[in-house]
Structure 1
Amino acid sequence: MKFFLDTANANDIRYYSEMGLVDGVTTNPSLIAREGRDFKTVVKEICTIVSGPVSAEVTGNTFEEMVSQAREIASWASNIVVKIPMTTEGLKAVKVLSDEGIKTNVTLVFSVSQGLLAAKAGANYISPFLGRLDDVGSSGIELVRDLHKILTNYGFKTEIISASVRSADHVKQAALVNSDIATIPANIFGKLWSHPLTDKGLALFANDWAEFQKKQKNNGGK
């Protein structure tokens, strides 16, 4: 499974990219707004940090606005993927953009039918929101499982991005149901390698080594 970072913070992206763990980045208007910087400047900077897909979202609501904005955004860098909302106008835009060779990521997917329609329209990626579905008593993981089965059954090339990831367990569950990608907030990404038993084991090793060194010193290094 590929790991994307769900952030617009360039410092976080650099930090995790240096570990070789980041396959791409997803942003949205809320994440961009938190940075307090120009949208185009932020997106273009991210595209220089990672070589993988960078999702940048349109803000228009109509077909015409989305297509116009998508064409502009896609021109900023070769690795940009344009995020389009899951609406009727959005689906129309995805069809046109797909025909033009502009890659798209349909966001705010909450049902199988929405994901299937986005795939049929030509979306390169679809983003089911795990946490938000869990919040209303549905299962985001079950949606990913169903979408994977259906897309596989019919040979769609569309990749599934598990979004709205709230925990390391979400990442685990997404991997178990064959999600192609998990897009993970930086604060969650940093927890993926953490475990209290690892910390305990490292402390034990350090203590044992210190005791050994002390004994060596007391024995004159013999």
Structure 2
Amino acid sequence: MSNLLCQLKVMTKVVADTGDIDAISLYEPVDATTNPSLILKAAELPAYSGLLEEAKNHGRKMSTKQAEQVKYACDWLTVGIGKEIQQVVPGFVSTEVDARLSFDTKATINKARQLVELYRETGADTDRVLIKIASTWEGIEAAKVLEKEGIRCNLTLLFSFAQAQAAAEAGAYLISPFVGRILDWYKKAEGRNYIASEDPGVLSVQRIYNYYKKHNYKTVVMGASFRNTGEIIELAGCDCLTIGPDLLNELKQTESILVKKLDADKPNCQEEKQVLNEAAFRWAMNEDAMAVEKLAEGIRNFTKDQVKLERLIAAKL
């Protein structure tokens, strides 16, 4: 009998939810995802001190104004870490757009183009870059444009079925439904715990996955933000799962039989296909208090860490 991580890799693409090169090398995932919180942690690691210096110099070269220097340096550092991660994973690296642009379609598109161009300038493989964008209506509209330009997108901070429907219709390459954060909300709202098979985050991803497979959407479903290995076990068979180092280690240390719970050839879905316009999308979101609250909270928290990263770089400048 092999460990759970080895068995999971047979039925699901395993993605490392970290910017730590050592952790990525240890667990050998196919892809890796980053966000402002992970970049902030990575920037404080000794392994990235050289990149931090490069970022500082790049910022100074691009502008004489410190505020602009900081923004250029942040982008350079983010892309530099992404390029480093590409050296140890064979697949995609996800790089996130500034969360403060989440309600501005045009600005999101421009920032995504800039990040891809930076990857190109550094000699990285732009075909293995996913641009992460918050799953607001504006973000989804930006992804629609970018996908047509050949820039693949990872729509993140996804909590509702409406967000998943709109993302698939936009032709997004990949979505990241946040399993653990959904669970957090329901535990607080209802004052109870859940077994893994009844976990609201797990049920949300299962519903989205089966809907996509029934209606032949090509958008990849990547469960994210896990709180325990039970959630991961219940989503075995999902297209992708992005998992943090602690849970990757727990899966690696556990020997048990892993049962495939999701099967693209046998989607368990009775729902008809529905295409949402902006009004229908916003109404569906309005009716889902959990999704509204967690989306807003996620954008705020990513913004806080983006600001902390900028302050770190400003201090270096």
Tell me the TM-score range normalised by the shorter chain.
0.7 to 0.9
Cα distance in 2 for partners of 1:193, 1:43 equals 25
Q: State the Cα distance separating 1:168 from its structure 2 match.
A: 1.6
Normalising by the residue count of structure 1, what TM-score does the alignment of the two structures yield?
Answer: 0.81
The counterpart of 1:43, out of the listed 42, 63, 82, is 82
The secondary structure found in structure 2 opposite 1:190 is helix
Q: State the Cα distance separating 1:68 from its structure 2 match.
A: 1.3
Tell me which residue corresponds to 1:184: 243
The counterpart of 1:172, out of the listed 233, 252, 257, is 233
Equivalences for 1:19-58 in 2 at 5 Å? 22-36=29-43, 37=52, 38-58=77-97
The secondary structure found in structure 1 opposite 2:142 is helix
Cα distance in 1 for partners of 2:214, 2:114 equals 35
Tell me which residue corresponds to 2:21: 10
The code of the aligned residue for 1:4 comes to V
When the two chains are superposed, the root-mean-square deviation of aligned CA atoms in Å is 1.6
**Is the CA contact (8 Å cut-off) linking 1:74 and 1:81 kept in structure 2?**
no
The secondary structure found in structure 2 opposite 1:192 is helix
Structure with a larger share of its residues in strand: 1
**Is the CA contact (8 Å cut-off) linking 1:107 and 1:126 kept in structure 2?**
yes
Which structure has the larger Rg? 1
Residue identity (%): 34
Gaps of 5+ in 1: 198-222
Cα distance in 2 for partners of 1:81, 1:122 equals 14
Q: In 2 relative to 1, CA 64–187 (structure 1 residues): closer, same or farther, beyond 3 Å?
A: same
Tell me which residue corresponds to 1:71: 113
Equivalences for 1:121-132 in 2 at 5 Å? 121-132=170-181
The counterpart of 1:194, out of the listed 253, 273, 276, is 253
**Is the CA contact (8 Å cut-off) linking 1:73 and 1:80 kept in structure 2?**
no
Q: State the Cα distance separating 1:160 from its structure 2 match.
A: 0.5
Normalising by the residue count of structure 2, what TM-score does the alignment of the two structures yield?
Answer: 0.58
Q: State the Cα distance separating 1:195 from its structure 2 match.
A: 3.7
Tell me which residue corresponds to 2:221: 160
The 4+ residue runs of structure 1 with deviation greater than 6 A are none
Tell me which residue corresponds to 1:217: none
Q: In 2 relative to 1, CA 27–117 (structure 1 residues): closer, same or farther, beyond 3 Å?
A: same
Tell me which residue corresponds to 2:159: 110
The code of the aligned residue for 1:54 comes to V
Gaps of 5+ in 2: 1-11, 44-51, 53-76, 120-124, 187-198, 257-317
Q: State the Cα distance separating 1:154 from its structure 2 match.
A: 1.4
The code of the aligned residue for 2:239 comes to D
Q: State the Cα distance separating 1:196 from its structure 2 match.
A: 8.7
The secondary structure found in structure 2 opposite 1:136 is helix
Q: In 2 relative to 1, CA 196–98 (structure 1 residues): closer, same or farther, beyond 3 Å?
A: closer
The secondary structure found in structure 2 opposite 1:97 is helix
RCO higher in structure (CA 8 A, sep ≥6): 2
Cα distance in 2 for partners of 1:53, 1:117 equals 23
Q: State the Cα distance separating 1:72 from its structure 2 match.
A: 2.3
Which string of whole-angstrom CA distances, capped at 9 and with x for unpartnered residues, describes residues 151-208 of structure 1? 1121100111000012221210111xx42111000111011022499xxxxxxxxxxx
Structure with a larger share of its residues in helix: 2
Cα distance in 2 for partners of 1:195, 1:124 equals 32
Segment of structure 1 superposing worse, 156-165 or 29-38: 29-38
Cα distance in 1 for partners of 2:252, 2:211 equals 32
